[in-house]
Amino acid sequence: MSVSPALGPAIRRLRANRVVMVCLVSLLVLAIVALLGPFLTPHRYMDTDFGARFLAPTFSDWHLFGTDELGRDLFSRTLLGVQVTLFVAVIASIVSLGLGVAYGATAGFIGGKTDALMMRAVDALYALPFVFLVILLMVVFERNFMLIFVAIGAINWLDMARIVRGQTMSLKQREFVDAARLMGVSTPRIILRHITPNLVGVVVVYMTLTIPQAILVESFLSFLGLGVQEPQTSLGALVNGGTAYMERAPWLLIVPATVLALVLFCFNFLGDGLRDVADPKQA
């Protein structure tokens, strides 16, 4: 896989792909709307109103998406959900990134037996149902917000490690690495200052694929009641809540489910598109 040096034609190709551009724009719009959320509606996400429970979506009183079982406005809660979901996903992806890059770059750079061993470990860990371990973790160390990021990040680092290792191995052959070595730069320093900056391209592309995975895990945890806690909410938690009342107030399920699906869809498409642009040979 090439570190695309030709950025101009790559961006042009990206622009040409209509659906990818639509997804990118949608995501940006969504992010902006979510950030502006509190200013777009008079209701706050935690305001309960027992006189207005289970309201169907209506324009009156600015309950655009209706209200939930406690009378809270679904629109503002959905916006919060988007904020939290994206935030958690990005941070968790950065954790994955950190783990993956550290592991992969080291394995790729050192090469030889160490690399073989490290990669065998990755292979072994690859098909494990990590999620169960994460659930176990969340159950045991309950309600620890920091832990969510680490836990989710710990699930997705394997892919990143593999990609980074491959990239490092090809970069290792290049001349500037030899030059640095000849000048006596130590190995960790080489990895840090020379190899890592060149990995940026690959990493960005794969981040767009790790983020939806992180969203999935976080939503899964929230669905089981183990993720983000009240009164905060994420899209997964909203779906969970909506499931309970789906007969009485279907919009409580439909709205967050649709938003979640759209976000994931856009990220996946974007990631695919970016990957095609960066390396058209890779199917």
Nearer to other proteins, 140 or 183 (CB): 140
Instruction: Give the residue ranges of DSSP H helices in 141-250.
Output: 145-172, 175-182, 187-190, 196-198, 200-223, 235-244
Give the single-character DSSP code of 14: H
CA distance 147 to 163: 25
Least spacing, CB of residue 9 vs other proteins, in Å: 14
Nearer to other proteins, 17 or 168 (CB): 17
Nearer to other proteins, 169 or 254 (CB): 254
Least spacing, CB of residue 50 vs other proteins, in Å: 25
CA distance 241 to 76: 15
Least spacing, CB of residue 200 vs other proteins, in Å: 26
Least spacing, CB of residue 129 vs other proteins, in Å: 4
Nearer to other proteins, 8 or 129 (CB): 129
CA distance 283 to 278: 11
Nearer to other proteins, 30 or 137 (CB): 137
Q: How far is CA 6 from the centre of its chain?
A: 27
- Tell me the backbone φ, ψ of residue 138, rounded to 5 degrees: -65, -35
Nearer to other proteins, 151 or 203 (CB): 151
Least spacing, CB of residue 42 vs other proteins, in Å: 29
Q: For the chain, what is the radius of gyration of the CA atoms? A: 22
Residue numbers of the site for other proteins (CB under 8 A)? 120, 124-129, 131-133, 135-137, 139-141, 212, 216, 219-220, 223-226, 236, 239-240, 242-243, 246-247, 250, 253-254, 257, 260-261, 264-265, 267-269, 272, 283
Least spacing, CB of residue 139 vs other proteins, in Å: 5
